[in-house]
Every structure is written in C-alpha cells, then in structure tokens.
Structure 1
Amino acid sequence: MATAAEKREDIKSKLQILRKELREIHSKVIEESTMPEPGEVRASMTKLEELLEVLEPKSAKKSKK
C-alpha cells in the first residue's frame, strides 16, 4: 500500500502532465483557432476521472452507478 506521501507525489505528477496537455490544447484553440480532436478531449477526461478515483475512491464509484 502506498504511503500518503507517495500518493501525493503520484497525483502531483499526473496533474502536471495533465496541465501540460491541457495548455497545449488551449494554445491550439487560441492561436490556430482549431478545435481539439475528440480523442484528445476524451483522453483528458479519462485522466481527470482517474485522478478523482484516487482522491475520492468511494464517491467516484457511487457517481458512476
């Protein structure tokens, strides 16, 4: 079982990666006036859901039902 510090570091690194990806998507929208690919949006949403499950495992399972 991971310690609280390990979980915190894992979440921190996942958030940093997600923020970088979202910044890239945002810059494409702003600079190139193009919409992101649906796959990019779905991947970001999946990553956010995974983080939510780590942060709130019980409530995330309830919301999916």
Structure 2
Amino acid sequence: MVQTKRDLVISHLRFLRQELREMHLGIKEDGLFPEPGEIRGIIAQLEALLELVDGKTRIQSNSEAA
C-alpha cells in the first residue's frame, strides 16, 4: 500500500507526540530526565519530518559536521 505524503506526516507526528508524552510523564511523575540520545533521536525525527514536508535535503553546517 502506497502512503501519501500527508499520511506519512500524520504517522510521524503521532509517533513523535507519543514519544514526547512519555518523556513528559517521566519528568513529571518520576523526576527522571530523558537520556541525551533520546532527545537527539526526537530532534533527528523532527528534522526528517521537516525534510519530508519541505521536499528538500537540509545542508549540514560546519559545526554539525565536526
């Protein structure tokens, strides 16, 4: 089954929303902050979603390449 761009964006947003909700509950209930890798993963997924919506690849800056 071929998914439209809209369906892909919706599924990405649902997944990210759930991940962020779990992080928030962890902070609120247990006082536990997420691991830096978890946050980096969410940021990478948001960047991938932005690329999907914009339809173009992001250029890496010099500071990110290092």
| TM tier relative to shorter chain | 0.7 to 0.9
**Which one has more relative contact order, counting CA pairs under 8 Å at least 6 apart?**
2
User: What residue is the counterpart of 1:16 in the other structure?
Assistant: 14
Identity among equivalent pairs (%): 40
Q: Under a length normalisation based on structure 2, what TM-score does the superposition of the two structures give? A: 0.78
Aligned length: 60
**Unaligned runs of at least 5 residues, structure 2:** 62-66
**Unaligned runs of at least 5 residues, structure 1:** none
Counterparts of 1:1-65 in structure 2 under 5 Å? 6-58=4-56, 61=58, 64-65=60-61
Q: Deviations over 1:9-50 (max 9, x none)?
A: 011001100100000000001100111111110110000000
Instruction: Looking at secondary structure, tell me which structure has more helix per residue.
Output: 1
